[in-house]
Structure 1
């Protein structure tokens, strides 16, 4: 159990170091890249993201649809990760929250940090940061 907590803390810290304070840049720094980084750090590999390149939301969405998914939640579910209640998320787990607006992705992905704090890109200011969110769609145990 202690080893798992140390691994989770290290994965969350790696995500924080790579993304926190950085501006949104599709294909380089976005919620999919953040989630992929968390998956890798938690030992799940990059899966379908391996080798995918996109430089705009439109290109990213086309790749998502080409892979057979309607939204990001379907794409994460396809990884076979167990869904959990968002309140049960531990450090390093993935969370899906409303993306704001009428974006095509169906959700924004974030990484659970500690004490109910998440790391993700805010649609309000486009910077990756930590905050306490109060609305989630679902979560996955990594």
Structure 2
């Protein structure tokens, strides 16, 4: 009887060991997705760090990147876009605000980076070649 009791206890112990949660079957912890930053937020973060001569509204600033991207898609250069006499007239300035050239270039780069990143290297190359960037 002693062998039978020992065998039964051993079988029960083995069965319980097979059902135990040894830690290796823990459910996988899914990483929390990082918050998505909108194109507008990316652009405005840079824009808000620029010192303007005046105070452009966010709406005025947000109107620029799509115009820049359209001009770049049309094959136009930064020089053409920023030319107010016969060019695109897309220099970042308004009726009561303006930007220095260096800040305008920074704003352009951030807008292109957020809204039409495929054009970023073309813009950066042109700015570098002009000595402005």
TM over 0.5: no
Q: TM-score, normalised by structure 2?
A: 0.28
The structure whose residues are more often helix, as a share, is: 2
Structure number with greater CO (CA < 8 Å, separation at least 6) is 1
